[in-house]
Amino acid sequence: MQQARQLSQPNRLISRPQPGRGAEIKTQPAARLKKGKFILILVTCFLLSLVVVGQYSSLVILNYRLGSVRTELSVVRETSRGLELEAAQLSSLERIDQIAREDLGMVEPDMSQMRIITAGR
């Protein structure tokens, strides 16, 4: 009967199904699909790990900056305290009186040099 088919349709080749090949052809797309899913999962995990590493490095950089700013803030506070103390010392009345007497040669006026003026009505 095959000979009759081959004679009536000479361009068509008829091949017998070979044992084991039919199952191989059907499982090949499934294997490709599994392999594609695996590669997709692997690439997704890689990208997520890159995001995590990037966020961690950003956190480390920001923590370093925070530490340096805290150090700078403490230095500025100490400088401010020192300047406030110096301003208080320089503006004390005793110091001004000492500079007036020693450096400028000033003296307190006598009672004869003072005049008391009252407001008249």
Cβ neighbours, 10 Å, residue 91: 9
The predicted pLDDT at position 113 comes to 85
At residue 8, the 3 state secondary structure works out as helix
* pLDDT value at 51 more than 90: yes
Identify the pLDDT of residue 45: 97
CA 100 – CA 107 distance, rounded (Å): 8
Distance CA 31, CA 25 (A): 10
Helix (H, G, I), strand (E, B) or coil at 118: coil
58-111 pLDDT, tens digit per residue, is 999 999 999 999 999 999 999 999 999 999 999 999 999 999 999 999 988 888
What are the tens digits of pLDDT across the range 29-49?
A: 888 889 999 999 999 999 999
Cα–Cα distance for residue pair 102/95, rounded to 1 Å: 10
Q: For the full predicted model, state whether its pTM sits above 0.75.
A: no
- Report pLDDT for 16: 57
pLDDT of residue 112: 85
Query: What is the rounded CA–CA span in Å between residue 99 and residue 63?
Result: 51
Q: Do residues 5 and 15 make contact, with C-beta atoms less than 8 angstroms apart? A: no
Q: DSSP character for 92?
A: -
Q: Give residue limits of the domains in the chain.
A: 21-106
